[in-house]
Amino acid sequence: MGELHQDLPDSEWEQFGRLQGAALRGEAAAVPDLVAFLEFPNGFLQGSVADALGRIGDVRAVEPLLRLLTSVDDYARSCAVPALVGFEDERVVPALCRALRDDPSWSVREAAASALGRIGDESALPSLIAAMQDEDGDVREKVGRALMHFGQRALELMREAHAKLQTDEERARAESVIGETYCCPGSASLGAEFLQVFPFLSKYVSPPPFPCGQAKQEVF
C-alpha cells in the first residue's frame, strides 16, 4: 500500500478545521460531516478524521473507521487503529487482530499491538503471541508491552509458545518480546515467575521494573 496525496481546496480545510474543534468539544453532531471527509483521497486528512471520530466516541463512527482499515494509505490506517480502541463493538478486536497479522505496514501492526493491549480482551492473545515472530523489531516491542496487560495468562501462553520454537532466529525474536514484557513496570508482580519460567532473563542486573525498552538494549 502507500499514500494518498490529493489536496483539498482551502475552503474545505477551513470547514474541516471547524469540525476538528467540534470534535475536541465532544460534539456528536459533527460525526456525519467528519465521515464525509473520509471519501476524499488524502491520507493525512483521513488520519485526522479518524482521530477526531475517536475523540468523539459516537457509535456511528465504528463502521467508517473499520472501513478505513482497508485504505491504501498507511497513515490513514495507522490512525484508524487507535481511534477504534474506545468502542465496545464486537467487530473491533477481530479487525485489529487482522491488522496485526496481515497489514503490510509496520506502523499499522505496531499500532494494532498497542491497541489490543489497551483493550485487554483475551481473545486477542493468540494474535499477540503469534506476533512475537513479527519481522519488525518495533512491532515486537509493542507486542511485549501489550502482553504485559494480560498478566499471568500471557506468561503461560508465552511459555507454551517459546517451548515450541525450533530455530535460533525464532527464539531470538520471542525472547526480545518476553524481555520487553518482563521489563515493563506493570509486570513487576510476576518478576519471580518470569525468571523461573525464562532463565535467560537472569542476565538482567536487577529485578524489574525497568523503563520499557531497556530490555532490548541490555540483553538482546
Task: Annotate 152-172 with DSSP letters as a single string.
Answer: HHHHHHHHHHHHT--SHHHHH
5 or 193, greater pLDDT: 193
pLDDT at 217: 40
Helix (H) or strand (E) holding 119: helix 106-119
pLDDT at 219: 35
pLDDT digits 0-9 by tens, 8-48:
778 888 888 999 999 999 999 999 999 999 999 889 999 99
User: Do residues 149 and 122 touch, judged by C-beta distance below 8 A?
Assistant: no
199-207 contact pairs (CB < 8 A, 24+):
200/175
pLDDT at 213: 47
pLDDT at 207: 52
pLDDT digits 0-9 by tens, 120-170:
999 999 999 999 999 999 999 999 999 999 989 999 999 999 999 999 999
pLDDT digits 0-9 by tens, 57-115:
999 999 999 999 999 999 999 999 999 999 999 999 999 999 999 999 999 999 999 99
Q: d(Cα 163, Cα 52) in Å, to the nearest integer? A: 43
133 or 216, greater pLDDT: 133
